[in-house]
Amino acid sequence: MSTIILGIESSCDDTSAAVIKDGFLLSNVVANQAVHESYGGVVPELASRAHQQNIVPVVHEALKRAGVSKEELSAVAFTRGPGLMGSLLVGVSFAKGFARSLGVPMIDVNHLVGHVLAHFIKAEGDENKHPSLPFLCLLVSGGNSQIILVKSHSQMEIIGQTIDDAAGEAIDKCSKVMGLGYPGGPIIDKLARQGNPEAFKFNKPHIQGYDYSFSGLKTSFLYSLKDWIKEDLNFIENNINDLAASLEKTVVDILMDKLKKAAKAYGIKDVAVAGGVSANTGLRNAFLDHAKRFGWNVFIPKFAYTTDNAAMIAMSGYLKYQDNDFATIDMPAYSRVSLK
Ligand code: KG4
């Protein structure tokens, strides 16, 4: 008999539902929330209200596109955390109620684990190659910058992480300083393609081990800009592409430097990247470059799996289903949590 999992994701500002059948993705529907754009960041109360409006139509659409009826579902997987509490509550409550009404098990998924396990999603017509265990995964998003040693689907160890800001957060803040829109990551990426990455130098951190720090870069960027603007009032406009390219290069260099050290120390050749910042062209190119130079087998997710999506939650749920690892109705959402 087939195993069909409905996955639900509502940790931040995307409402998403996906269906996975025997490990193969059948549908992945994402409703974005444009309402936050004019505020320059996600407004939690508005996010939960939008989830309330979106959750039923999004789940309905995911089932429809998958050609699956709700009675055929084997289990309902949901993001339990970390994330915004109000947003999580919508998905968690819906998933629990839906699973209960269908009489099927519910499966709680850690959002960060979901990003890592996105590498195991299979889809009809895709190459469907996935990393061999153990592998290293660089998880980089607006809230996280971590190097994770993935020993199995259920056993992961964070061997390095940011001690202050996340990489995406630093890029977004620097972009805000330059008066660009939100989120800054995709804008910086686009501008950087036209710029010279060697044009400007910004401070890089000196942190022991495999940990990261990005708050110094943010400060260095801000103070350098202030100095340059004293000389030329239109400095930002005149140098926007070079600024974006140099900022991107600095972030990518910082990320890859520690990842390279970790891969060497752990003797690992399978290296993956995940999270919103993995959409970045400079970072993707750096992965391809490291594959050539160091013989790494690199795993770069499809764009659809880089940002928040329910496909990765359904996949994680599918793997937990194989282990009979189910949630209970009394499990609350959690806003902050590490990998496990
Ligand atoms: O994983 P994610 O969607 O969710 C949160 O962590 O909230 O990551 C969002 C982050 C933001 O900081 C955004 O600016 C960054 O990912 N991002 C990018 C790109 N696309 C999204 N950063 C650099 N280049 C991109 N192309």
- Number of domains the chain is built from: 2
| Number of neighbouring beta carbons within 10 Å of residue 267 | 7
Do 139 and 181 reside in the same domain of the chain?
Answer: yes
Do 123 and 159 reside in the same domain of the chain?
Answer: no
**Cα distance between residue 51 and residue 42, in whole Å:** 13
Do 29 and 157 reside in the same domain of the chain?
Answer: no
Average pLDDT for 100-104: 98
**What are the residues facing 4 on neighbouring strands?**
21
Nearest to 114 by CA among 257, 316, 282, 335: 316
Assign residue 263 the CATH number of its domain: 3.30.420.40
Helices (H), the chain: 44-66, 85-102, 111-117, 167-177, 184-192, 215-231, 235-266, 281-294, 311-322
Do 234 and 296 reside in the same domain of the chain?
Answer: yes
pTM of the model: 0.94
Residue 339 inside a domain? The answer is no
Residue 110 inside a domain? The answer is yes
Do 171 and 223 reside in the same domain of the chain?
Answer: yes
What pLDDT, in 10s, does the model give residues 144-200?
A: 899 999 999 999 999 999 999 999 999 999 999 999 988 899 999 999 999 999 999
Residue 220 inside a domain? The answer is yes
Q: Which structure tokens are listed for 276?
A: 């919103």
Residue 286 inside a domain? The answer is yes
Provide the percentage of residues in the chain whose pLDDT is more than 90: 90
Output the ligand 1 site: residues, CB below 6 A: 12, 141-143, 168, 171-172, 183-186, 189, 275-277, 279-280, 307-308
Do 277 and 151 reside in the same domain of the chain?
Answer: yes
Residue 259 inside a domain? The answer is yes
What pLDDT, in 10s, does the model give residues 55-70?
A: 999 999 999 999 999 9
Residue 334 inside a domain? The answer is no
Which band of pLDDT confidence, cut at 50, 70 and 90, is reported for residue 38? confident
Instruction: Find the domain containing 248 and state its range.
Output: 135-303
Do 119 and 41 reside in the same domain of the chain?
Answer: yes
User: Average per-residue pLDDT in the chain?
Assistant: 95
CA of 42 to the centre of ligand 1 (A): 13
Provide the percentage of residues in the chain whose pLDDT is more than 70: 99
Closest ligand 1 atom to residue 308 Cα is 3
Sign of CA dihedral 138, 139, 144, 147: negative
Residue 250 inside a domain? The answer is yes
Residue 333 inside a domain? The answer is no
**H/E stretch holding 137:** strand 135-140
Check residue 263 and give its pLDDT: 98
Q: Which structure tokens are listed for 293?
A: 């130079």
Range with the poorest average pLDDT among 35-44, 269-278, 298-307: 35-44
Do 153 and 260 reside in the same domain of the chain?
Answer: yes
Check residue 340 and give its pLDDT: 55
Do 27 and 67 reside in the same domain of the chain?
Answer: yes
Nearest to 29 by CA among 4, 66, 3: 66
Please say whether the beta carbons of 294 and 136 come within 8 A: no
